[in-house]
Amino acid sequence: MVRISHLLLIMAKKEGKILIVDDNKELLFALKLYLQPHFEKVLTEHNPNRIKEHLFNDAYDLVLLDMNFSAGINNGNEGLFWMKEVLKVDPETAVVFITGYGDVELAVRAIKEGAADFIQKSWDENKILSTLLSAYQLRKQKQAINGLKKKQQHLSKTIEAGHDMFLGNSEAMQMVMNMTRKVAPTDVNVLILGENGTGKEVMARTLHRLSARCDEMFVAVDLGAINENLFESEMFGHKKGAFTDAKADRTGRFELASGGTLFLDEIGNLSLTMQAKLLAALQNREITPVGGARPVKIDIRLICATNMPLDKMVEEGTFREDLLYRINTITLEMPSLRQRSEDIPGLADFFLQKFTGKYRKDTMTFTPAAIKQLKSHAWPGNIREFQHAIEKAVILSDGAVIDQADLFFNSHEKQTIDVDNMNLVDHEKMIIARAIKSCQGNMSQASKKLGINRSTLYDKIKRYGL
């Protein structure tokens, strides 16, 4: 039991509302007189049928409740019934029972069914106050924990919103999403394959969001960024003093994700040594922290991703076949942007809305020429490259319309041209507009860059309405 002096120090300012329900009016009077100096509000009631009325009229932190109300009945069922009614109104309410001498077994039963504590009717002021103050602190702790849980859920949803993806109507993406909807509700291990930038992590988060584990943690690990010497510490955790820099206990990623989803990105980058350690953890469903003596049971849904050819690596002896079987119960292959070019207009609008909101820009639109330009690009960096191009266009554009000249691609990336829809005038217009923009309106520099004289440049500007 927490010392009463310590609890009184914590509650120097009167706080907490308490409802006392007992059929003994003299006891009610004595309790109210004694407890009023210590609580913000003390309300007494001799009729249990009015409990709900009081609870709806005000929010009580504590309910001090008699175990028996009817004469001749001492089984405690009445008290347990009213406790359940109280907890229906507010599950965080701390219920403390008033028991007769010798009713300890009833009190223990009550605690098992949800009561915070009990006090006996034999008058012991210190015991009564200490019990109630402890129950009040328990109520506050429950509220704090539940508040943190709600914040964590809100934060998780906010983070997930930042990883939204435009699914599209292309046949390639619809096939992936049909498979995802079937697999998500299960706990099977999933291997996601695809080129860099195709949205493998976003798909992993989608699987988590559609699963029964959606309210639990989603823990993402970039295995390519983990040093082999720190692999066990990162993944399984460590105990204080396990090695030189282990100055405190550390929880590993497996344990953090227990109950939720563990996403292992770039799994193809693991060395054979790390593969063996990972396989052992997956097979045993338990991990042992570095420096620890006791194994820790884990309950995870495993999703892995890579852009490497694992089948070929198995043949070459650089990836364990038994680990591959363990992680790829279901395989999802993310299509490249080249394989879903019909989704580009929708993707462009999706990212346009995202970045105009982020940078507080007014509503913007794409010209048909800009969409055509987006569709003609090879996009070797896939969606990651695509969204960066849209973001740059939103930032640099001064108007409400994004045209070809507003789209910039990294110089090292090759650009393809749709020969069937080639239009020399459109391309010349685009090149001139881009040159003018890159030279910040300096026509002398722009003409030099284009290899034409200024008069010719002005003629073309007039002709194209630039």
**Model pLDDT for residues 39-67, shown as the tens digit of each residue:** 999 999 999 999 999 998 888 999 999 88
Q: Residue 22 region, left (φ>0) first, then alpha (ψ -120 to 50), else beta?
A: beta
Rounded to an integer, the average pLDDT of 398-411 is 80
Element (H, E) at 278: helix 272-284
- Fold designation for 4-145: Rossmann fold (3.40.50)
Higher pLDDT, 84 or 164: 84
Sign of the four-CA dihedral 428, 433, 435, 436? positive
Fold type of domain 338-464: Helicase, Ruva Protein; domain 3 (1.10.8)
Mean pLDDT of 461-465: 72
Relative to beta strand 190-193, strand 301-306 is parallel
pLDDT at 3: 47
**What is the predicted pLDDT for the residue at 425?**
66
Mean pLDDT for 238-259 is: 86
Query: Does position 412 have pLDDT exceeding 50, yes or no?
Result: no
Split at pLDDT 50, 70, 90, the class of 164 is low
**Which one is predicted more confidently, 438 or 25?**
25
Say yes or no to pLDDT of 416 above 60: no
Query: Residue 176 above 70 pLDDT?
Result: yes
Q: 441 or 243: which carries more pLDDT confidence?
A: 243
pLDDT score, position 433: 77
Please report where in the chains the tokens 């997930």 appear, as a residue.
160
| The pLDDT value given to residue 420 | 47
Confidence of residue 101 (pLDDT cuts 50, 70, 90): low
pLDDT band of residue 157 (cuts 50, 70, 90) is low
pLDDT at 7 over 70: no
For residue 427, pLDDT beyond 70: no
Taking alpha carbons only, the member of 93, 211, 215 closest to residue 150 is: 215
Domain spans in the chain, listed from the N-terminal domain onward: 4-145, 162-335, 338-464
The more confidently predicted of residues 392 and 462 is 392
Looking at the predicted structure, is the pLDDT value of residue 150 above 70? no
Token reading at 281: 């953890």
pLDDT band at 121 (very low <50, low <70, confident <90, very high): confident
Fold match, 162-335 / 338-464:
no
Q: What is the mean pLDDT of residues 268-292?
A: 93
Q: Is the pLDDT of residue 288 over 50?
A: yes
Between 2-6, 86-90, 306-310, 345-349, the lowest mean confidence (pLDDT) is in 2-6
Of 2.60.40.10, 3.30.1360.120, 3.40.50.300, 3.20.20.140, the CATH number of 162-335 is 3.40.50.300
CA angle 201, 205, 211 (to 5 degrees): 145
Asked whether residue 306 carries a pLDDT value surpassing 90, the answer given is: yes
CA–CA separation, 354 vs 344, rounded Å? 15
Closest CA to 406 of 373, 432, 444, 434: 434
Tokens of 90: 């507010």
Taking alpha carbons only, the member of 226, 302, 232, 301 closest to residue 269 is 226
Lowest mean pLDDT among 118-122, 302-306, 335-339: 118-122
